[in-house]
Amino acid sequence: MLIAGNWKMFHGPDATREFLSAFEPPDGVDVVLCPPYVSLAAALEGPIPVYAQNVHWAHEGAYTGEISAEMLLELGVTGSLVGHSERRHYFGETDESAARRARAACDAGLRVIACVGETEEQREAGHTEMVLRLQVEAIRDALGGAHEHLTLAYEPVWAIGTGRTATPDLAREAHAFVKSILDVPVLYGGSVKPDNAAELLSQPDVDGALVGGASLDADSFTEICRAAVAVRS
């Protein structure tokens, strides 16, 4: 089971080192941290695998502000998120661009957590499965099927940073549907906290969690990791 902490635009290098000094993941769970670019080097000073929050599809080129998979690997980074809903919403990421990023990263040897999920409007309109199918098929087709370095993260957009969480039944149904299209591990992301982690992680087809705000505090992130261990035991 994989627990990934997405720090978004929080924790510079000093705060990253403070977190690492306070956080010790329990045995029995795989943990990765996804800090901002400026904190990657600081995070790599610790023993926990480090993922970037995004990666470009080109090896190099005139792409100001972008970072290639090869650059991340040279730094010592293990993997990257792609297609996070905030990248899609604020920066125009599309299913196609997320899939291109995922393929380039996997081809280069990075591990990838590719994010998929529907908005509240799409769910209310009954379009959840259509949206998930389009997003997952774009990734599947770009990679030519399941890839050993690929993990998906189902993140209902309406549950990210809102305090709202998909019910265990909704999470289970969405994960099963995603796996019916592409059989790879699927994490749940969307307001995962210590008080709901065990129930969510115990659902069939939920293979871990992509944790946002609750991963910024060492104590709360430790509790979520312990919940994952308890579910597996």
Q: Domains in the chain, start-ordered, CATH in brackets? A: 2-232 (3.20.20.70)
Structure tokens that stand for 122 in this block: 């799409």
pLDDT digits (tens, 9 = 90+) for 179-224: 999 999 999 998 899 999 999 999 999 999 999 999 999 999 999 9
pLDDT tens for each residue of 126-172: 889 999 999 999 999 999 999 999 999 999 887 766 667 778 888 89
Indicate the helix (H) or strand (E) that contains 99: helix 95-108
One-letter amino acid identity for 129?
E
Burial class (CB in 10 A: 0-12, 13-18, 19+), 144: exposed
Question: Alpha carbon of 12 to those of 45, 75, 99, 165: distances in Å?
Answer: 14, 17, 29, 28
Active site residue 84: yes
Q: What is the pLDDT of residues 88-136, one digit of tens each?
A: 999 999 999 999 999 999 999 999 999 999 988 888 888 899 999 999 9
At residue 158, the pLDDT reads 75
Residue 163: the pLDDT is 66
61: number of CA atoms within 13 Å, CB side? Answer: 7
In the residue annotation, 127 being an active-site residue is answered as: no
Instruction: Please pick, among 56, 84, 147, 175, the residue that the annotation labels catalytic.
Output: 84
Q: How much is the pTM?
A: 0.95
Burial class (CB in 10 A: 0-12, 13-18, 19+), 37: middle
Catalytic one among 86, 93, 118, 155?
A: 155
- CA pair distance 119, 211, nearest whole angstrom: 18
> What six digits make up the tokens of 233?
């035991």
